Amino acid sequence: MERTGPTVRLSGLLAAATAAVLAAGALVATAPAAGAADVDLARNGGFESGLDGWSCTAASGAVVSTPVHGGAKALKATPAGSDNAKCSQTITVKPNSSYTLSAWVQGSYVYLGATGTGTTDVSTWTQSPGAWKQLTTTFTTGPSTTSVSVYTHGWYGTPAHYVDDLTLVGPGGDPVVIPAVPAGLRATAITSSSVALSWNAVSGASGYHVYRGGTKVATATGPSATVTGLSPSTAYSFQVTAANAAGESAKSAAVTATTTAGGGGGDTGLPARALVGYLHSSFANGSGYTRMADVPDSWDVINLAFGEPTSVTSGDIRFSLCPVAECPNVESEAEFKAAIKAKQAAGKKVLISIGGQNGQVQLASTAARDAFVTSVSKIIDTYGLDGLDIDFEGHSLSLNTGDTDFRNPTSPVIVNLISAVKSLKAKYGSGFVLTMAPETFFVQLGYQFYGSGPWGGQDPRAGAYLPVIHALRDDLTLLHVQDYNSGPIMGLDNQYHTMGGADFHIAMTDMLLAGFPVAGDTTKVFPGLRPDQVAIGLPASPQAGNGHTTPAEVNKALDCLIKKTGCGSYQTHGTWSDLRGLMTWSINWDRFNNREFSRNFDAYFGS
């Protein structure tokens, strides 16, 4: 969250990670004559049937009628941000066989390549723009290779490029057969609302379907999935099937798992649909100061921004009202406390939010942990607050090298924060409201990158909130990730999504509810949260932060997530009818913008 106007803080992670994507070695070769049994195996290589058979990142791929090399259509792909405009296709091949991959391209830095060959993956590229050029490369499959992925892509920051008449010539693969029934189905993690499952991979399977009580409830591309939206202390029966282009296998043997009791932050008394907002209580900016007594009744949770540390590593958190010199209309301490009690009497929750853009908090020692518990408790007691919001940003949370499992974190700043919050929860009991407001970089980016990575070199902050959320999920009242001031993030459809419209909120929220393998590791699946634990975080006005979303687009996202209607290209992994609501930065900016955000919330949910 920002104290002043919008500032984009784009981390170097995406740039660093993508710098090592490809080595630019040209492997152009003269195509050998095709053998008698050789055929073109590429599907829709001329793009005459649109993108049928192709998977393109984000919204980068489109079919155009000019320019073309042959036929009536060609692919136009446009790199944007961290998206290199990759389009790919998986093709069935034979083991120990030679193949020639070829395509006509137009544009600079256009790549053509193949992965999963079982021997040496290959690529070739063109450096100069101009007329159509043919790229060609060859490869030989390994002894057990039955499919390869062929692809084209551009380079970051370059203009759109074009691809046409792509072919893969070689021996045709064996006919696709229905895969075998999966074996080894087991429950790997159980919470009060979710069960994480895994099973043995099945040869030839392109995906899997998970059944609960005979009803299909989830799909997965790898041998694991997390089923969410379950009831506490309830036994569930699960089965799984394997599928490919030929069909679906029979169901596996069933496994039974019983969810744990209770959780989710206790009886916090929040309404079924909640509106959460941050109140600039300790500072002023262009939005103006709003007194606690003047906060409209629309707001169900009011987060006081901000409690900040005396130093980055002290753990000693302080909070005070905005100085009169900065906020001439600030109320007195007594008036502020009285207004808090009045809000609580009306059923509202008032929390202290720790951190924000300027409040870096690193609990690197047990002394800092203990100081955090003591000082936050003092703030809560002084103002009679209902709980705590964790808004750690910047460099507050990061993962030490070698800390690779979100289920068992070892980094002191992570371990001590978890311990501190558990101590506060134990002190104040089941009614203690606990919320978190991480950025997408610290949560959803964990689907691709986690910490410094298996080989080092990545930003150690990537996905760093995941172990905190996971360890505190049974104490967590609300998670409202900031869907703003974000770069493009890959969703569960393996496409990049960009902030500012319904699609971004749909994809980012669905990830939280469906769960996902961390850094692509199907043995380390982050289980989805309950829908009532999740709210969508947005800016209240164009001035409040990058990624402002119009009311129409906000409503479109709610329609998709809650009703599964109007979802656009992204299909959610469930109908999240119990989604808790919305969060915004901030109450002050909403008031500045004639209450557009809160009025829209009230109108949508009939408040």
Beta-sheet pairing, 274-280 with 581-585: parallel
The answer to whether 85 and 17 have CB atoms below 8 angstroms apart is no
The b/e string for 291-324 (b: 16+ C-beta within 10 A; e otherwise) is bbeebeebbbbbbbbbbbbeeebbbbbebebbee
The answer to whether 376 and 391 have CB atoms below 8 angstroms apart is no
DSSP string, 277-345: EEEE-S---TT----GGGS-TT-SEEEEEEEEESSTTT--EE--PPPTTT-TTPPPHHHHHHHHHHHHH
Distance CA 117, CA 390 (A): 46
The answer to whether 498 and 504 have CB atoms below 8 angstroms apart is yes
Question: Counting beta carbons within 10 angstroms of the beta carbon of residue 103, is it exposed (0 to 12), middle (13 to 18) or buried (19 or more)?
Answer: buried
Q: Which of 514, 505, 567, 511 is nearest to 539 (CA)?
A: 505
Type of residue at 205: A
The answer to whether 453 and 459 have CB atoms below 8 angstroms apart is no
- CA 416 to chain CA mean position, Å: 25
The reply to whether 48 belongs to the active site is no
State the residue for tokens 């955090």: 372
Q: Which of 534, 545, 533, 535 is nearest to 590 (CA)?
A: 545
State the residue for tokens 């008032």: 350
Distance CA 98, CA 556 (A): 49
Beta-sheet pairing, 110-115 with 74-77: unpaired
CA angle 165, 166, 171 (to 5 degrees): 125
Distance CA 593, CA 542 (A): 9
- Exactly one of 2, 308, 331, 393 is catalytic; which is it? 393
Type of residue at 202: V
Residues classed as catalytic: 393
